[in-house]
């Protein structure tokens, strides 16, 4: 027993030595004195292969999509039949009224087609920005050089219509074919293209927060406060989306607002954190502010929080090389603005 527990010392031997015996590891007998047993390792092909759990994808027929498509088709058919019947009634009364109704019907159809095309283009542009952000985040992890070049080219196309980025686009185009790692290329594109846009975005968020703070501080009605904050938030989200290259329409704004609210829910909710409230309303500031001014500051902070979430959603690149704006900086600007007005 004591000899078996001692560790074996390294030794050399020849395979054609009669004292070397090749045995199976499972059925290996007790070695006799003076013999060496060798148990061959299993071949890689015979080893068990780990099988990943299959991803369950929903492959059923989308009955919900069929239902809403059928409802939309019935509504369009009903509107078409109603307009046709109206034009026929107008022609029955007077030829001039019929011609006027027909012209108005064609104008409405043309406007509907233009609005539909604009909404479709806006949704496609928002989807392209969302995909571009996801691809850039993936390149930052994988450091794929070819993928980074493609992301930068798509980003240059997106920023082509912004005259504010003309010099930055020219500087970035000169580095597309350089030998640069994928993650470094994304960081370079962020520094070149996103720096002026981030500065303008912070100014928009700060201005909207200050505007909401002033209006809600002097407003006599709570309903007016709620309505103004809602309108100001929608306007801020639209401005940020246009700044970063998106052109959302009505449907695009609904989708964008849903994404912003979902991002807020994931990253901490609408309410300001306890530490931030203590920072803003504590340390003697609450004593210098009246109740209405304090409510205005908090409403401004909520608007700023919504604006920061909108920046992260509408920005085509994730924050990697540039510092991400935080609510504490905007809160200091907002409180400094309130103190200056007093």
49: left (phi over 0), alpha (psi -120 to 50) or beta: beta
- Buried residues in 230-241 as b, exposed as e (16+ CB within 10 A): eebbeebbbbbb
Tell whether the model's pLDDT for residue 177 goes beyond 70: yes
Tell whether the model's pLDDT for residue 27 goes beyond 60: no
**DSSP for 214-276?**
HHHHH-S-HHHHHHHHHHHHHHHHHHHHHHTT----HHHHHHHHHHHHHHHHHHT-SSPPHHH
Residue scoring higher pLDDT (227 or 17)? 227
Residue scoring higher pLDDT (266 or 131)? 131
Q: How confident is the model at residue 31 (pLDDT cuts 50, 70, 90)?
A: low
Diameter over CA atoms, the chain:
121
Q: How confident is the model at residue 255 (pLDDT cuts 50, 70, 90)?
A: confident
Q: Taking Cα atoms as reference points, which of 125, 74, 340 lies closest to residue 253?
A: 125
Contact assessment for residue 216 and residue 233, using Cβ atoms and an 8 Å cutoff: no
> What pTM value is reported for the model?
0.67
Scan for tokens 């994404």, then name that residue. 259
Q: What is the C-alpha separation between 268 and 230, in angstroms, rounded?
A: 20
Q: What is the C-alpha separation between 238 and 197, in angstroms, rounded?
A: 14
Domain ranges of the chain: 196-341
Tell whether the model's pLDDT for residue 102 goes beyond 70: yes
Q: What is the C-alpha separation between 265 and 61, in angstroms, rounded?
A: 31
Name the strand (E) or helix (H) holding 119: helix 95-142
**Measured between alpha carbons, how far is residue 299 from residues 162, 215, 229, 284, 307 in Å?**
32, 10, 8, 20, 12
């Amino acid at each position: 027993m004591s000899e078996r527990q001692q560790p074996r010392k390294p030794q050399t031997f020849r395979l054609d030595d009669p004292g070397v015996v090749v045995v199976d590891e499972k059925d290996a007998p007790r070695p006799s004195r003076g013999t060496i047993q060798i148990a061959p390792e299993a071949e890689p092909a015979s080893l068990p292969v780990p099988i990943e759990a299959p991803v369950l994808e929903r492959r059923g027929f989308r009955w919900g999509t069929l239902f809403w498509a059928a409802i939309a088709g019935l509504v369009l058919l009903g509107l078409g039949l109603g307009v046709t019947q109206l034009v026929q009634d107008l022609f029955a009364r007077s030829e001039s009224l019929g011609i006027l109704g027909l012209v108005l019907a064609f104008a409405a159809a043309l406007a509907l087609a233009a609005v539909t095309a604009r909404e479709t283009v806006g949704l496609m542009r928002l989807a392209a920005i969302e995909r571009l952000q996801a691809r850039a985040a993936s390149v930052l992890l994988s450091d794929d050089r070819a993928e980074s070049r493609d992301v930068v080219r798509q980003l240059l196309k997106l920023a082509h219509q912004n005259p504010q980025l003309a010099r930055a686009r020219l500087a970035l185009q000169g580095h597309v074919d350089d030998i640069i790692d994928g993650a470094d290329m994304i960081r370079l594109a962020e520094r070149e293209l996103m720096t002026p846009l981030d500065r303008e975005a912070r100014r928009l968020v700060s201005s909207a927060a200050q505007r909401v703070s002033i209006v809600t501080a002097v407003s006599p009605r709570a309903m007016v406060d709620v309505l103004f904050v809602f309108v100001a938030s929608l306007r801020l989200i639209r401005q940020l989306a246009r700044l970063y290259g998106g052109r959302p329409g009505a449907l695009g704004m609904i989708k964008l607002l849903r994404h912003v609210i979902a991002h807020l829910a994931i990253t901490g909710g609408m309410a300001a954190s306890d530490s931030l409230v203590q920072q803003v309303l504590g340390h003697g500031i609450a004593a210098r502010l009246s109740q209405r001014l304090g409510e205005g500051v908090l409403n401004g902070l909520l608007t700023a929080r919504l604006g920061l979430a909108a920046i992260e959603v509408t920005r085509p690149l994730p924050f990697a090389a540039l510092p991400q704006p935080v609510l504490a900086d905007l809160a200091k600007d907002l409180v400094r603005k309130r103190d200056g007005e007093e």
